[in-house]
Structure 1
């Protein structure tokens, strides 16, 4: 861009550019680097109309975890890119046995149960930071990850609770414990909100969903573990307040293996089979306008499939079971029941689909930083 173009105009032009171009422009001059690295530019660029992608996670025939990014536009699903987790990320996790906690604002949070290490990974700019998650032998721990919509600050939420084999009467003796890690401070602390979740909750190790700055978990009341009442626990990433959301009656008694969450636009979506249903269709419900306890049934999906997400057009993406341990990913048209396969197949029930847009969040972070929760030190990893 010419030096004769006012800097304000240059800024507006750069705000419309893709991530790859901005990363190159940082090396052209100090003024551009300072602009692109600024928190205001990162926040504004993050909220602008960037191209939408779908991150698909699954396991292949050799039970190796695979990741593929698909451009979600008129070319769908031709533009596929198979992603490789950077060596530095694997070294920070220390083991290959890790899982995705959730994805938000173009960031993915991975977690290793063995080392108690979480890694926040920006796919687009290949930057990552690691966070040590303190654990206790007394408690089970469920994690959630999201980004504060007001500050663009990534947060990890940790809830400690008694495991499913613990006696219910012990819950009154052992307090519920919630901690929040905020990347800007690098430390674990108590949440700002005062209404902590009930001590009697048990959290299912299923998908966590972040919708418009609110994190959601599936949970149940501890004394009703097997066939008891299911509900959703939400956590606002800005106010850090917890809330309870009642599921539709058809799903509140559903087995935990028959229910999952996703989102469409800015609304939470829950799907599942009615209790004891074997051959019935999968019911898909949407929470109305962000209003808790207000769900509307959208449609049903044919048997032997699970809902994994939605395209930006609103078409559901499902994983269809073809053999005992083999599923294929497809786009499903709920009214005509048309199925378009995406050319991705895998084993087990581990298909996950995360919509994302490219982001500059983490751009100002030192490479491969590791936070111990009370301070930080630099990790000496390299790709």
Structure 2
């Protein structure tokens, strides 16, 4: 059982090597299973990413399956499962982002009607030097539309890259390590996002520490809960 995400008290898992999706509601002590579709023309599309959220307008648990080539640009194949309909629907090309976009698996967060992932894109500079550009990807559970959210240039120079995505209230949080000349900093930025663009951003915290792996969540008073390497006890 591999967890995909949690939203509105429901948790989604994958079972059997992406063969089946499981929705579990522990409050009702009920679960629903759905076989995951596979397209015969997806032979080379071995990179698969999943997302899970609950539509706020219909309270419909929704699973998103994204697959694309591993080593080069190519067609995206995206299917969306609706619990209310008990069926999968493949999205049209106009609903998908650029083919060169890649999602960071296990990085999803749900804020409102959107599922967010950390994303990357391989580009080439004017001098012909390849580089990796980091961005934010959103999926609108109501319109079934993807959006590529460009990071403002003022934010790019101070934010961690690569970064992870989490949520705090109605805000998207990006976090990660920044290596300074003095000591490593674990930093987080609060983003106000309308689903398609970043409207406002502010620094949430910067913690001097060499040990943090990732941000897990927040306490009720917005203190960060983190996973950290503690080598002498061989744990996290």
Q: TM-score range by the shorter chain?
A: 0.7 to 0.9
Cα separation, partners in 2 of 1:252 and 1:289, compared to 1, 3 Å: closer
Query: Are 1:134 and 2:37 an aligned pair?
Result: yes
TM-fit CA distance, 1:134: 2.0
Note the aligned Cα RMSD (angstroms): 2.6
Kindly state the Cα deviation for residue 192 of structure 1 after the two structures are TM-superposed.
Answer: 7.9
Change (3 A) 1:151 1:232: same
Query: Does residue 136 of structure 2 align to residue 232 of structure 1?
Result: yes
The number of residues matched between the two structures is: 219
Higher helix share: 1
Separation (CA, whole Å) in 2 of partners of 1:282 and 1:323: 18
- Greater strand percent: which structure? 2
- Compared CA separation, residues 162 and 194, structure 1 to 2 (3 A): same
What corresponds to 2:58 in structure 1? 151
Equivalent of residue 118 in structure 1, options 21, 27, 37: 21
Residue 243 of structure 1: SS of its match in structure 2? strand
CA deviation profile, 1:323-342 (whole Å, cap 9, x unmatched): 17411xxxxxxxxxxxxxxx
- What is aligned with 1:40? none
**What is the Cα deviation at residue 246 of structure 1?**
2.6
1:251–1:272 contact (8 Å) kept in structure 2:
no
Which ranges of structure 2 fall in alignment gaps of 5 or more residues? 125-129
Whether 2:11 is the aligned partner of 1:108: answer yes
Alignment of 1:1-383 (within 5 A): 98-112=1-15, 114=17, 116-135=19-38, 136-139=42-45, 140-163=47-70, 166=71, 168=72, 171=73, 174-191=74-91, 194-222=94-122, 228-247=132-151, 248-250=155-157, 254-255=161-162, 259-274=163-178, 279-288=183-192, 290=194, 292-293=197-198, 294-303=200-209, 304-305=211-212, 306-323=214-231, 325-327=234-236
Partners of 1:161 and 1:235 in 2: how far apart?
A: 16
Higher relative contact order (CA 8 A, sep 6+): 1
Q: After the TM superposition, which parts of structure 1 deviate over 4 Å for at least 4 consecutive aligned residues?
A: 275-278
* Contact 1:206–1:218 (Cα < 8 Å) also in 2: no
What is the CA-CA distance between 1:298 and the residue it aligns to? 1.3
- Per-residue CA distance 1:88-147 (angstroms, 9 max, x = gap): xxxxxxxxxx21101011000011352521100001111000111123432121110111
Q: Which moved more, 1:135-144 or 1:283-292?
A: 283-292
Aligned partners of 2:58 and 2:93: how far apart in 1?
17
1:193-217 Cα offsets, whole Å, 9 max, x none, are 9431111112222321111121011
- TM-score, length-normalised on structure 1? 0.52
The CA distance in 1 between the partners of 2:92 and 2:56, in whole Å, is: 16
Distance 2:136 2:193 in 1: 16
How has the CA–CA distance of structure 1 residues 276 and 228 changed in structure 2, closer, same or farther, with 3 Å as cutoff? farther
SS at match of 1:124: coil
Larger radius of gyration: 1
